[in-house]
Amino acid sequence: MKRKIHIRIAEITIAIEWEDRNLQCKLHRIYPPFFSNGKSDIVLRLRERTHDVFLGKKVFDCAPVWKLYRGNGNGNWIISLFADEKDPYAERVMLLHPSLRYGELYVQKPARDSSFTIDPFTGPTAELLMVQYLAKGKGIIIHSCGITLGGKGILFVGHSGTGKSTMARFCRDGANVSILSDDRIIVRKKDGVFWMYGTPWHGEEALSSSRGYPLDKIYFIKHARRNQITKPTGIEATSKLLSCSFPPFWDKKGMNFTLDFLSELSKQVPCRELGFLPDRGVVRLIKSMN
């Protein structure tokens, strides 16, 4: 009997399927708010790995966590995760059809266990799947904190350590404020409007939401000696978005889409640089700009 779990992130539904009665699928506690039903955009089938999976040609290496291969002749994408770990049962291989509509996740069964429980989205598994799918003209993941303030969607974009979780902490107790994520946001375009969506992949504050809102403004954040807002040039804004995004460097078509998408995003949505002190005065400054 086939069993399923549906996850919906940024209006993209992933169905996880398995038939092995000895296999139990248990997702991390961050995922239940994203549980869903309905038609699947991506179907990921869980399989016990009983033989070596042919990997093909290596096209990207992010050792020791993951490596990406391209299948010879069939165009499949193959992602090997945790192959360099000391625990052989941590290793998994995700094989994705070129269409990205379906794939298979091969997991190793622990020795001597007749039944076993796995989290199919351990580590960056779900993010890598989404990066691949979004690159097919669907959108992009941006390293950012996303909030709504008075119904308006705001992104605070920055690398690790620039203050995304700090901004989320300052904003979360305010009136008419919702936090979508304090670390990773998906941006997509719908009916000519850019939307931002929460993801399960949160930061230090562990804040995430499955909701989405139209995007009204983008701030590139950094720590500073005073709270101040300046305006970058168009090409600077695009460059900053790219440097804080998760683009498919290994996929020429995907990169072309990503560059065009970010260029259009920086032109359509107002972008500002925000230097701030670690106090709630920055929230008052942001409110005065909206």
**Residue boundaries of the structural domains of the chain:** 3-134, 140-288
Q: Which two tokens stand for residue 162?
A: 């620039």
**How far apart, in whole angstroms, are the C-alpha atoms of residue 129 and residue 122?**
12
pLDDT digits (tens, 9 = 90+) for 241-254: 999 999 999 999 99
CB 160 within 8 A of CB 171: no
pLDDT digits (tens, 9 = 90+) for 64-96: 999 999 987 788 999 999 887 777 677 899 999
Q: By CB neighbour count within 10 A (0-12 exposed, 13-18 middle, 19+ buried), where does 170 fall?
A: buried
Banded pLDDT at 112 (limits 50, 70, 90): low
Looking at residue 15, its amino acid is: A
Q: How many CB atoms lie within 10 A of CB 254?
A: 19
**How far apart, in whole angstroms, are the C-alpha atoms of residue 22 and residue 207?**
34
- The residue among 65, 2, 5 whose CA lies nearest residue 31 is 5
Q: What is the pLDDT of residue 90?
A: 79
**Three-state DSSP string of 82-150:** CCCCCCHHHCEEEEECCCCCEEEEEECCCCCCCCEEECCCCCCHHHHHHHHHHCCCCCEEEEEEEEEEC
pLDDT at 288 over 90: no
Look up the CATH number of domain 140-288.
3.90.228.20
pLDDT digits (tens, 9 = 90+) for 224-280: 889 899 999 879 999 999 999 999 999 999 999 999 999 999 999 999 999 988 877
Banded pLDDT at 124 (limits 50, 70, 90): very high
**Percentage of the residues of the chain whose pLDDT score is greater than 70:** 96
Q: Which residue has the tokens 């929460």?
A: 198
Q: Which residue has the higher pLDDT, 47 or 174?
A: 47
Residues 6+ apart with CB under 8 A from 50: none
Question: Could you tell me the sign of the dihedral formed by the alpha carbons of 24, 29, 30, 33, in that order?
Answer: positive
Q: Which residue has the tokens 């804004």?
A: 237
Does the pTM exceed 0.85?
Answer: yes
The vertex-199 CA angle with 116 and 90, nearest 5°, equals 30
Mark 122-133 as b/e (b = at least 16 C-beta within 10 Å): eebbbbbbbbbb
Q: What is the pLDDT of residue 179?
A: 93
